[in-house]
Chain A
Amino acid sequence: MGGPAWLTAIFAAASLAVAVYCAGRLVVARRGHRPTELDTDGAHVIMGVAMAGMLVSGLRTLPSTIWEVVFAAAAVWFGYRMLQARRGAQSSPWRSSHPLPHLVECAAMVFMFLILPAAAGAATSSVSMTMTATESRFSFLTLPLAVYLFGYVVWLGDRVTLHAPALALATAPASAGPRPGYGSGSSGPEPAHPYLAPRCAAICKITMGITMGYMLILML
């Protein structure tokens, strides 16, 4: 990456930390039957690993083509979830309640892998994400993607303030219904356990948004 190595290493470490934490969430959620957004956490596991590899070439794990397919599939999933949500389909506390930002994140990953094939395949100590003149024709996409992610980060920052129960309600779908101590007033299935660490989930999303936004800004 074009930035100082220590800076890209920090961002890579942050994205890897999110990946590890989200993997842990998946395990804890399964063992403790605590609801979490399985699709979001799963996406962040692979996204964190892929982003770390883009930021520091020594952390590359898979070829770009495979990542493109993976994130395209993830984008299709979140797009499908978004359509379902718009149609008012019964939602689950185990799936993302706000799929659009994750759809954008996955699309941004595909975009970055597609637009920087040579850079991603370089065997240098750090991957240069600086755009060439030819690639800059896509800048009309890069800037809106980055600004959208920063908007998402700020929106999440606003949500983090909520008390954990309210934040869980904010991040979980309505049909999850009331939880013990989480307010009441709606019908629907009642999960036996509270949502898993909603503030930590929000902080993970913020970290991923900032890191991905940084990568996109480097491509301007």
Chain B
Amino acid sequence: MSESLAVGRAQTRPAGRPGDTAGDTVGVAALDARRKLQLGLGVIWVLDGILQFQPSMFTKSFPDMLAESAHGNPGVVAGPITWSASLIDHHVVVLNAIFATIQLALGLGIAWRPTVRLALAASIAWSLAVWWLGEGLGGILAGTASPVNGAPGPVLLYAILAVLLWPADRDPGAPSVAGRATGRRPAQAVWLVVWGSLAAFALLPASRAPGAISDMLTDGADGAPAWLAWIDTHAASALNHHGLAASIVLAVLLAVVAVAVYLPAPALRAAIVLAVVLAAALWLAQGMGELFTGMATDPESGPLLALLALAFWPAGARKEA
């Protein structure tokens, strides 16, 4: 398979017709749906890298934040987290600069076609390491996992996306981008597990307790600009005494999205639209990943869930096939 086919059937078209405008795609390698999604993932990695360069990341606040993710986890999980946080604490400037550079390189590596496989493979390894050592496995074992606070850990979604967007065509006739690399059934299983687990997390005590979602929304408002804080505080106020109902509604919607992957294309498209809307709502609830606090290391799960949903859109793969 040629590089261009592997990356996304890129083609360099010859010069265009007279009268083509400057903004047209004259002589430009065409981007198929998978390549566009790969570039979307690359943008998020670049954003992560630059976020990691924020001033606060070079201070003790960064290792302290990492160490907090150990709380509530079993010893076998918490031990390495505490050890790595301590190591980072002693060499925070050097290690943080390295971490930021790695993430920036992952983004640029995904963008640069010759290194897309290497970058995606490295991003899987990096994501899994950060999921454990930086996010405490998303709080799954600590009992704090909730879709509203980013469970199962945003960084795990990077790894899942890297697998689904891998530049290979195991099933070229798959109805969506996600199915091309892994095959339809494995891709469907991934979708079911991701959205099904989110539905399950929504029913855990961390979400269904009377003030749980409301408290998470209030946390999302901390440090947020006024317009975002207004949204989160009003939502928190509205859900203040309806935590159980809110978590049930959220779980049902997430479960509908989860099973829709086995439905016909029109129903799946509707479910994907719902998934994107839910991802946007969760992102707002997460204070847009607390990007405005100076302490964000990634944009949280919302944008990644939306990207994941788009990877399952049925029409794209059909069109390019």
Contacts and interface: CB of A to CB of B under 8 A. Distances in A.
Contacts of A140: 225, 227
B82 to A, nearest CB: 26
Interface residues of A, number: 65
Contact of A214 (B50, B227, B291): B50
A84 to B, nearest CB: 8
Q: Which of B23, B35, B43, B226 has the most CB of A within 10 A?
A: B23
Contact of B22 (A91, A130, A143, A206): A91
Interface string B147-182: 000000000000000000000000000000000000
B23 A177 contact: no
Given A7-B58, A146-B47, 17 more contacts: A4-B58, A7-B53, A84-B22, A85-B22, A88-B19, A98-B23, A155-B39, A159-B28, A166-B12, A169-B12, A170-B26, A174-B15, A176-B15, A178-B15, A217-B53, A217-B54, A220-B292
Contacts of B12: 162-163, 166, 169
B27 interface: yes
Given A158-B29, A174-B15, A147 B55 contact: no
A97 B15 CA distance: 14
Interface string B88-125: 00000100010000001001101111100000000000
Interface in A136-186: 136-137, 139-140, 143, 146-147, 150-151, 153-163, 166, 168-170, 173-178, 182-186
B51 interface: yes
A170 B15 CA distance: 9
Interface in A74-128: 81-82, 84-89, 91, 95-100
Contact of B112 (A97, A160, A176, A185): A160
Contacts of B24: 174
Chain A residues touching B, majority SS: helix
B14 interface: yes
B42 interface: yes
B50 A173 contact: no
Interface in B16-74: 16-24, 26-29, 31, 35, 39, 42-43, 46-47, 50-51, 53-55, 58
B284 to A, nearest CB: 13
Contact of A2 (B43, B50, B55, B113): B55
A37 to B, nearest CB: 10
A213 interface: yes
B79 interface: no
A137 B226 contact: yes
B71 to A, nearest CB: 27
A186 B18 contact: yes
Given A139-B292, A214-B50, A175 B18 contact: yes
Interface of A: 1-4, 7, 81-82, 84-89, 91, 95-100, 130, 136-137, 139-140, 143, 146-147, 150-151, 153-163, 166, 168-170, 173-178, 182-188, 206, 210, 213-214, 217-218, 220
Nearest to A139: B225
Contact of B47 (A130, A147, A168, A185): A147
Contact of B29 (A156, A162, A174, A184): A162
B117 to A, nearest CB: 13
B294 interface: yes
B297 to A, nearest CB: 12
Given A137-B226, A185-B14, A185-B15, A158 B39 contact: yes
Contacts of B58: 3-4, 7
A157 B42 contact: yes
Interface in B286-300: 288, 291-292, 294
A88 B42 contact: no
B35 A158 contact: yes
Contacts of A175: 18-20
Nearest to B47: A150
Nearest to B104: A210
A213 B108 CA distance: 14
Contact of B43 (A7, A99, A154, A178): A154
A161 B26 contact: no
Given A130-B294, A166-B12, A4 B93 contact: yes
A159 B227 contact: no
A86 B21 contact: yes
Contact of B28 (A87, A139, A169): A169
Nearest to B19: A88
B29 to A, nearest CB: 6
B107 A217 contact: no
Contacts of A88: 19-21
A146 B46 CA distance: 10
Contacts of B113: 158, 161
Interface string B268-301: 0000000000000000000010011010000000
